[in-house]
């Protein structure tokens, strides 16, 4: 009655707000703050302050894993040389290869990380994802080397903790950026779900969004426009019935489908659908669940036992 497609679209529209709020919480910014590339850059800049604190930890002696990480950063470009030695490689290969060294100063490494991440941002902005990823991976190799040095040298726990928190925050900004529509400020749940499927590291709210989108892909679509509550088909059926019967009563059908759709996606019905056990009446399961409007909605096809329960268990916190 509500229409599968339109119900899923309306659920997706409601869930988009929840997705955006959850992404903002993952980044530690207010829900009413704008979410765009400039916001993410500002977060990275603030997180970079923790990097300055490790600038004075002395000389870092990188391990073999550091050299391997540098090689892996440019391997998409260099691996082809085995079969095609005459192929030209982009300048990023030599630039990153220059990072191979037996020792480096932590302060110099911190400045280099900033430059590498700036180059990564520039490449991603130009839609050159391979170069952007190479610079990003090179920066991560330096960060890992500093982290290992802090552990080996017995650095204070608060210094190490702040450094790791900053790294995680910066990583989250890049994760959100990949899923962000900068023009609308909307974060794509399906993109995060794709990252999870490809075993990209996600945590906290971003992991919740990804899991939910995997479970209910039709209720987390990225819509190009707001769904229309009444379709041309509704007008055709209602109008045709009214003309055929000579009665205006069928025109009431125009409001029935949107009303059913609204009821299915309402707070009480959604809460009731997520409660395990189906022996109680709908009313008795609905009344205790009137909490707030900050929750994900599942579309009509998800009103099965496993569908409702999975959505509840994953995202009841929202």
Q: Where are the domains of the chain?
A: 1-23+201-318, 36-184
Which tops the pLDDT comparison, 170 or 224?
A: 170
Question: Among 201-215, 233-247, 257-271, which stretch is predicted with the lowest mean pLDDT?
Answer: 233-247
pLDDT for 184 beyond 60: yes
pLDDT for 143 beyond 90: yes
Pairing type for strands 186-187 and 180-181 reads antiparallel
- In this predicted structure, what is the pLDDT of residue 69? 95
Hey, which bits of the chain come out as E strands?
59-60, 104-105, 180-181, 186-187
pLDDT for 234 beyond 60: yes
Q: Select, from the ranges 119-133, 227-241, 301-315, the one with the highest average predicted confidence (pLDDT).
A: 119-133
pLDDT for 223 beyond 70: yes
Q: The pTM is what?
A: 0.68
pLDDT for 272 beyond 90: no
Please, what is the average pLDDT of the chain? 82
- In this predicted structure, what is the pLDDT of residue 207? 95
pLDDT for 130 beyond 90: yes
Contact 15, 270 (CB under 8 A): no
- In this predicted structure, what is the pLDDT of residue 239? 67
- In this predicted structure, what is the pLDDT of residue 86? 84
User: Taking Cα atoms as reference points, which of 225, 177, 235, 166 lies closest to residue 16?
Assistant: 225
Complete DSSP assignment for 223-237: -SSPPPSS-HHHHHH
Mean pLDDT of 262-275: 80
Mean pLDDT of 117-144: 92
- In this predicted structure, what is the pLDDT of residue 254? 66
- In this predicted structure, what is the pLDDT of residue 75? 94
pLDDT for 298 beyond 90: no
pLDDT digit string (tens) for 67-90?
Answer: 999 999 999 999 988 888 888 888
- In this predicted structure, what is the pLDDT of residue 6? 78
pLDDT for 248 beyond 70: no
How would residue 26 be classed by pLDDT, with cut points 50, 70 and 90?
Answer: very high
What is the per-residue burial (b if ≥16 Cβ within 10 Å, else e) of 265-301? bebbbbbbbbbeeeeeeeeebbeebeeeeebbbbbbe
Mean pLDDT of 252-258: 70
pLDDT for 309 beyond 60: no
Contact 229, 9 (CB under 8 A): no
- In this predicted structure, what is the pLDDT of residue 302? 47
> CA 148 to CA 155: how far, in whole Å?
10
pLDDT for 149 beyond 70: yes
Which tops the pLDDT comparison, 311 or 275?
A: 275
> CA 62 to CA 69: how far, in whole Å?
11
Which tops the pLDDT comparison, 260 or 159?
A: 159
Question: Among 49-58, 106-115, 141-150, which stretch is predicted with the lowest mean pLDDT?
Answer: 49-58
Q: Residue 181: what are its φ and ψ, rounded to 5°?
A: -95, 105
How would residue 277 be classed by pLDDT, with cut points 50, 70 and 90?
Answer: low
- In this predicted structure, what is the pLDDT of residue 294? 61
């Amino acid at each position: 009655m509500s229409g599968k497609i339109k119900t899923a679209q309306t659920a997706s529209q409601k869930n988009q707000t929840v997705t955006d709020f959850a992404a903002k919480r993952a980044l530690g910014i207010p829900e009413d703050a704008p979410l765009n590339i400039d916001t993410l850059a500002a977060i990275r800049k603030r997180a970079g302050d923790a990097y300055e604190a490790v600038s004075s930890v002395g000389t870092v002696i990188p391990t073999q894993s550091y050299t391997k990480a540098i090689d892996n950063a440019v391997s998409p470009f260099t691996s082809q040389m085995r079969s095609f030695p005459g192929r030209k490689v982009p300048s990023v290969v030599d630039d990153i290869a220059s990072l191979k060294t037996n020792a480096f100063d932590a302060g110099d490494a911190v400045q280099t990380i900033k430059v590498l991440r700036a180059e990564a941002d520039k490449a991603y902005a130009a839609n050159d994802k391979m170069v952007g990823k190479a610079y990003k991976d090179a920066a991560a190799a330096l960060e890992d080397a500093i982290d290992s040095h802090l552990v080996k040298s017995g650095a204070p726990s608060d210094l190490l903790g702040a450094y790791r928190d900053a790294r995680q925050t910066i990583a989250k900004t890049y994760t959100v950026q990949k899923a962000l529509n900068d023009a609308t400020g909307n974060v794509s749940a399906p993109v995060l779900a794709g990252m999870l499927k490809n075993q990209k590291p996600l945590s906290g709210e971003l992991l919740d969004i990804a899991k939910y989108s995997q479970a209910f892909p039709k209720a987390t679509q990225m819509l190009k426009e707001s769904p229309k509550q009444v379709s041309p088909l509704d007008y055709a059926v209602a109008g045709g019935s009214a003309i055929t019967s000579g009665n205006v009563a069928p025109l009431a059908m125009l409001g029935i489908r949107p009303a059913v759709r609204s009821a299915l996606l309402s707070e009480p019905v959604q809460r009731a659908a997520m409660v395990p056990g189906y022996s109680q009446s709908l009313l008795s399961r609905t009344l205790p669940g009137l909490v707030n409007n900050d929750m994900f909605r599942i579309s009509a096809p998800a009103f099965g036992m496993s569908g409702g329960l999975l959505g509840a268990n994953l995202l009841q916190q929202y």
